[in-house]
């Protein structure tokens, strides 16, 4: 008996609403619950390259076919959606994109993968991002809390002004002392300043809003990024790529369970110079950003990085 893969996957997901599964997890379930169909698949295979001669090979083949069937899955059931990035997850939901976004922001089931035991909050992502930035990009980061702003411009006056996380990349970490002393008067040549806007979920409902929030908040920095632990839908990623090509903001998919699996899906386009006028406004309005500028200035003056001043170091102690 031939396996109707699309129908099987749709039925599997629809009976487990809001749970997220990788293609391989679904393939394992199919292999365990449809043994006759999987055996027939193995027996009928005529492949000489990567033959289906083991159970593992059959599971891998089913997993690959699930990935290839993604357009048919979403057409067969309007509630079937997928996340983007690595690993892609498949799920069924009765919620609209807007309802999904609200659930994510409220800590609801929209953010629960099949193996997670609790909901994330946006604040949970900050220390994880800081660790990823330091371990993978050698960027030292600091949190900017908008509640520490003076708000002298009235309600909404500082809207979309501050990023969630700022960072500094030390380009001179491996330089000889003589070189460091030589370029001390040209401090901008040995650092890059980074800005990050963090979200739990990016989908078709909020993609443009959060992207342009990142554009606004990162206008002062050499590199600006939008960061999210979930991105839902191929159209969403396509929109991000188009917007990034126009405005230069990058996108990081942050794996909240294993930061090593996080990935820069869209690299940011570098701005050659820091906009110090824009940075000055943030410094005048927000104490956290002022503290960040003090750390950068101290590095310019001394050429020495002080890890204890930065968030990732605090997270590890």
Number of domains in the chain: 2
Domain membership of residue 28 (yes or no) is: yes
Check residue 227 and give left, alpha or beta (phi > 0: left; psi -120 to 50: alpha).
Answer: beta
**H or E element in which residue 301 lies:** helix 287-302
pTM: predicted TM-score of the whole model, two decimal places = 0.71
**Residues 82 and 222 reside in one and the same domain:** no
**Residues 173 and 35 reside in one and the same domain:** no
Highest mean pLDDT among 91-105, 135-149, 167-181, 196-210 belongs to: 196-210
CA distance 151 to 309: 26
Domain membership of residue 107 (yes or no) is: no
**Residues 131 and 90 reside in one and the same domain:** no
Q: Give the pLDDT confidence score for residue 246 in this predicted structure.
A: 94
Q: What is the mean pLDDT of the chain?
A: 83
User: Considering the chain, what percentage of its residues have pLDDT values greater than 90?
Assistant: 36
pLDDT at 154 over 80: no
Residue 89 in contact with residue 19, Cβ under 8 Å? no
Q: What is the pLDDT of residues 109-148, one digit of tens each?
A: 544 444 443 467 888 899 999 999 998 899 999 999 877 7
Q: Give the pLDDT confidence score for residue 1 in this predicted structure.
A: 60
Domain membership of residue 208 (yes or no) is: yes
Domain membership of residue 99 (yes or no) is: no
Residue 58 in contact with residue 30, Cβ under 8 Å? no
Q: Give the pLDDT confidence score for residue 164 in this predicted structure.
A: 92
Domain membership of residue 105 (yes or no) is: no
**Residues 145 and 292 reside in one and the same domain:** yes
**Nearest alpha carbon to residue 164 among 147, 181, 140, 144:** 144
Q: Give the pLDDT confidence score for residue 261 in this predicted structure.
A: 84
**Residues 165 and 20 reside in one and the same domain:** no
**Residues 152 and 251 reside in one and the same domain:** yes
**Residues 33 and 148 reside in one and the same domain:** no
**Residues 208 and 61 reside in one and the same domain:** no
Q: What is the mean pLDDT of residues 196-209?
A: 93
CA distance 228 to 231: 7
pLDDT at 236 over 50: yes
Three-state secondary-structure class, residue 268: coil
**Nearest alpha carbon to residue 190 among 308, 296, 270, 292:** 296
User: Considering the chain, what percentage of its residues have pLDDT values greater than 70?
Assistant: 85
pLDDT at 108 over 60: no
Q: Domain range holding 22?
A: 5-94
Q: Give the pLDDT confidence score for residue 77 in this predicted structure.
A: 84
Q: Give the pLDDT confidence score for residue 116 in this predicted structure.
A: 45
Higher pLDDT, 174 or 317: 174
**Residues 163 and 311 reside in one and the same domain:** yes
**Residues 29 and 131 reside in one and the same domain:** no
**H or E element in which residue 166 lies:** strand 165-170
Sheet architecture: strand order including 80-82: 21-22, 89-92, 80-82
**Residues 14 and 151 reside in one and the same domain:** no
Domain membership of residue 43 (yes or no) is: yes
Phi, psi of 82 (to 5 degrees): -135, 150
For the domain that residue 32 is a member of, what is the CATH number? 1.10.10
Q: Give the pLDDT confidence score for residue 161 in this predicted structure.
A: 76
Domain membership of residue 108 (yes or no) is: no
pLDDT at 153 over 60: no
Domain membership of residue 83 (yes or no) is: yes
Q: What is the mean pLDDT of residues 6-18?
A: 92
Q: Give the pLDDT confidence score for residue 208 in this predicted structure.
A: 94
Q: What is the mean pLDDT of residues 84-98?
A: 84
**Residues 135 and 75 reside in one and the same domain:** no
Q: What is the pLDDT of residues 20-67, one digit of tens each?
A: 999 999 999 999 998 888 888 887 877 666 677 788 888 988 999 998
pLDDT at 260 over 90: no
């Amino acid at each position: 008996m031939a396996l109707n893969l699309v129908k099987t996957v749709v039925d599997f997901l629809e009976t487990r609403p809001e749970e997220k599964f990788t293609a391989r997890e679904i393939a394992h379930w199919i292999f365990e619950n449809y043994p006759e169909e999987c055996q027939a698949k193995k027996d009928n295979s005529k492949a000489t390259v990567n033959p289906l001669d083991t159970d593992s090979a059959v599971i891998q083949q089913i997993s690959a076919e699930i990935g290839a069937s993604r357009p048919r899955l979403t057409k067969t059931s309007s509630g079937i959606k997928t996340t983007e990035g690595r690993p892609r997850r498949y799920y069924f939901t009765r919620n609209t994109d807007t309802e999904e976004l609200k659930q994510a922001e409220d800590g609801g089931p929209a953010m629960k993968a099949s193996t997670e035991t609790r909901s994330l909050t946006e604040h949970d992502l900050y220390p994880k991002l800081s660790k990823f930035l330091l371990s993978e990009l050698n960027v030292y980061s600091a949190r900017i809390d908008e509640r520490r702003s003076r708000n002298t411009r009235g309600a909404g006056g500082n809207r979309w002004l501050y990023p969630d996380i700022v960072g500094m990349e030390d380009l001179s970490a491996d330089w000889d002392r003589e070189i460091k002393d030589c370029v001390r008067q040209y401090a901008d040549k040995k650092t890059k300043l980074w800005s990050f806007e963090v979200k739990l979920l990016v989908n078709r409902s909020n993609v443009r809003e959060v992207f342009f929030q990142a554009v606004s908040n990162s206008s002062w920095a050499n590199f600006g990024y939008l960061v999210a632990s979930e991105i839902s839908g191929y159209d969403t990623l396509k929109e991000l790529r188009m917007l990034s090509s126009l405005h230069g903001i990058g996108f990081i998919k942050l794996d909240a369970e294993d930061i090593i699996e996080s990935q820069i899906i869209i690299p940011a386009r570098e701005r050659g110079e820091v906009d110090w006028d824009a940075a000055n406004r943030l410094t005048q309005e927000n104490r956290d950003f002022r503290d960040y500028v003090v750390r950068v200035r101290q590095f310019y003056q001394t050429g020495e990085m002080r890890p204890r001043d930065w968030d990732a170091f605090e997270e590890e102690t």
